[in-house]
Amino acid sequence: MATCEVCGNDYWMAFEVRTVSGDVHTFDSFECAIHRMAPICEHCEVKIVGHGVEVNGRFFCCGHCARSVERTEGAEIRDAVGARPA
């Protein structure tokens, strides 16, 4: 058994997440893992649950948010290019 570091639930299916720096966190659910660990978009402040985009070490949920804040390199970020399906 292991205890979730967010909600305190002692749950047999709790799991660990190891970060790039080697820290280990324990959660009982993805919801709690997202609450503690997901980066927050610097423009709109949503939790970045998918890939998101990174510009100069700053995290954004999408190209629009990256372009809105990082006006130099961020201007290169695109969510999509080319023709849309008909």
Which residues touch 26 (CB under 8 Å, ≥6 apart)? 2, 3, 4, 5, 14, 15, 16, 17
Q: What gap in Å lies between CA 86 and CA 18, rounded to an integer?
A: 43
Which residues touch 40 (CB under 8 Å, ≥6 apart)? 46, 47, 48, 59
The answer to whether residue 66 forms part of the interface with Zn ion (CB under 5 A) is no
The answer to whether residue 65 forms part of the interface with Zn ion (CB under 5 A) is yes
Footprint of Zn ion on 6-35 (CB under 5 A): 6-7, 9, 28, 32
- Residue whose CB is less far from Zn ion, 50 or 85: 50
Q: How many residues bind Zn ion (CB under 5 A)?
A: 11
- Residue whose CB is less far from Zn ion, 13 or 20: 13
The residues that touch Zn ion, with contacts defined as CB under 5 A, are 4, 6-7, 9, 28, 32, 41, 43-44, 61, 65
